[in-house]
Amino acid sequence: MTSNTPDPDLEATSIRPRDRDAIVNSLQAGLVPRRGLQYIQVGRAQEVKAVTEDLDRIADGGSAVRFIIGEYGSGKTFFLNLMRSIALEKQLVTAHADLTPDRRFRSTSGHGRALYQQLARNLATRGTPDGGALRSIVERFIAEANREANTQDVPTEEVIRDRLDDLSELVAGYAFTDVIALYWQGYQENDDELQHAALRWLRGEYGTKTEARKALDKRVPIIDDSNWYEMTKLMARFVNLAGYEGLLINLDEMVNLYKLSHTGARKSNYEKLLSIVNDGLQGQTVGLGFLFAGTPDFLTDSKRGLYSYEALKTRLAESTFASDELVDMSGPVIRLSSLTQEDMFVLLKKLRHVHAGGDPENYVVPDEALEAFMRHCNEQIGAAYFQTPRNTIKEFLSFLSILEQNPGVSWEDLIEDIDVEADADQPTQTEEPESGAEDEGDDLADFEL
């Protein structure tokens, strides 16, 4: 057993086996864990504080919009998931999605509806943190309405419609109310098909009005590319009426808008994004916040990025006083600061602790090995090992796993065999094709995960 420098903060941290496995397995695969993020969070206190204040504003009935900007591998997805965890602890509902070739803000081929469907499937609460919380949200609202109806000795549907009356001012508000009432009807009559049909409408799964009318026996509009954002605003109001503090939506891989090869398609998506930004900055939405994650090129490229659209450039322009030394978190853009070498050392200590299941007696390497590992990485890829640390983390956990499974191997002998590469998960820039017809089909250029 290797001796190690005591760390009181870590020694007091117990880690459940399922959290340990989720963290280690995700990071070794180059993915961000869905649970246990608090065990490995380091640095970026100012960024976390700024967005946490946004969450409080959302819970107070306000709105928020933030763009989380960082290089590939710098921790954008980790940051989004961390803020998602904090939002759940604050009793907000969250939803998240990655933009892909088939999911974006606007198109003529159902891609906006597909984005909404993914968000609806990923609705999460503190009690249902892994998604699929839509049914529980609806039933929580109905249960409260039913209790009120019993107290007042009035029909439950009357209370449901009265509580949802404020939604009538929004697009599809009346239809939303009708569908919730139909879910209650299905609940009363033990009609699982009607309940399922109502949930399908709320998830945007009907492709035609005829299909929706047949399932619900009622004429209702369907959720499509033209109204999915309005439906999102309705959902934010609804979760608040159901007893939650608001709705936070995380959208990752925003760079895929930047990679749209068709100028018209890219512009129409930026127009839709502009309407979301305007609503958020002007406080036009109630209890709704958006976090968008993208690369610096996605933001500032004057040819294809958000700065190519003048209205967005104006709203997202950063303070001229901001610099590496002077941080400004008041605007909608947050640039993730790079981790320092000190942050990296703390992170490696936390990863070692997680790998050992929270028991210092199970550490397979001493602090000296962490320092030697950092020196080795610095020699191979320079500062990239801590500024964009995804591959560094993968190799470190593999290093620990090999030592754990081969107790006769010395860490000093093994460390020289570690091959760390700079994160190469960056898209190749393609030339802008000539603009043709205003076709907004599947035109994501050079998409890659």
- How many domains does the structure of the chain reveal? 2
Question: 403 in a domain, yes or no?
Answer: yes
Q: Which of 228, 293, 225 is nearest to 257 (CA)?
A: 293
Residue 275 has pLDDT above 80, yes or no: yes
Same domain, 15 and 112: no
Question: 169 in a domain, yes or no?
Answer: yes
Domain holding 207: CATH number? 3.40.50.300
Q: How far is CA 12 from the centre of its chain?
A: 30
Same domain, 120 and 137: yes
Q: What do you get for the CA distance between the two ends of the chain, in Å?
A: 41
CB contact set of 37 (below 8 Å; sequence gap of 6+): 78, 81, 82, 85
Q: What is the mean pLDDT of residues 222-237?
A: 95
- pTM summary value: 0.85
The pLDDT score that the predictor gives to residue 374 is 92
Same domain, 53 and 23: no
Question: 449 in a domain, yes or no?
Answer: no
Burial 429-444 (b: 16+ CB within 10 A, else e): eeeeeeeeeeebeebb
pLDDT single digits (tens) 292-339? 999 999 999 999 999 999 999 999 988 665 555 556 777 899 998 778
Q: What is the mean pLDDT of residues 237-258?
A: 96
Same domain, 176 and 36: no
pLDDT single digits (tens) 122-161? 999 999 999 999 999 999 999 999 999 999 999 999 999 9
Range of the domain at 243: 44-338
Burial 93-131 (b: 16+ CB within 10 A, else e): bbbbbbbbeebbbbbeebbbbbbbbbbbbbbbbbebeeb
The pLDDT score that the predictor gives to residue 11 is 57
Q: What is the mean pLDDT of residues 265-294?
A: 95
Question: 364 in a domain, yes or no?
Answer: yes
For residue 85, the surrounding DSSP H or E stretch is: helix 76-89
Domain end point (choices 280, 308, 338):
338
Higher-confidence residue of 30 and 186: namely 186
Q: How confident is the model at residue 30 (pLDDT cuts 50, 70, 90)?
A: confident
**What are 412's two structure tokens?**
């000093």
Same domain, 172 and 236: yes
Higher-confidence residue of 441 and 182: namely 182
Among 2-11, 32-41, 360-369, 400-409, where is mean pLDDT lowest?
Answer: 2-11
Same domain, 64 and 140: yes
Same domain, 248 and 292: yes
Residue 3 has pLDDT above 60, yes or no: no
Q: pLDDT exceeding 70 applies to what percent of the chain?
A: 89
Q: Which of 335, 298, 292 is nearest to 69 (CA)?
A: 335
Same domain, 280 and 325: yes
CA distances from 86 to 53, 90, 136, 344 (A): 11, 6, 20, 23
CA 144, CA 407: separation in Å to the nearest integer? 58
Same domain, 14 and 143: no
Domain end point (choices 317, 338, 359):
338
Residue 427 has pLDDT above 70, yes or no: no
Same domain, 381 and 316: no
Same domain, 277 and 191: yes
Torsion region of 16: left, alpha or beta (phi above 0 gives left; psi -120 to 50 gives alpha): beta
Domain end point (choices 289, 314, 338):
338
Q: What is the mean pLDDT of residues 189-207?
A: 96
Report the SS3 class of residue 217. Answer: coil
For residue 288, the surrounding DSSP H or E stretch is: strand 288-294
Question: 441 in a domain, yes or no?
Answer: no
pLDDT single digits (tens) 350-370? 999 999 999 999 999 999 999
Higher-confidence residue of 449 and 192: namely 192
CA distances from 132 to 123, 199, 200 (A): 6, 11, 12
By CB atoms closer than 10 A (0-12, 13-18, 19+), residue 9 is exposed
Question: 196 in a domain, yes or no?
Answer: yes
The pLDDT score that the predictor gives to residue 6 is 53
The pLDDT score that the predictor gives to residue 172 is 87
Question: 445 in a domain, yes or no?
Answer: no
Same domain, 390 and 330: no
CA 408, CA 403: separation in Å to the nearest integer? 8
Question: 157 in a domain, yes or no?
Answer: yes
Report the amino acid identity of residue 276. Answer: I
Report the amino acid identity of residue 283. Answer: G
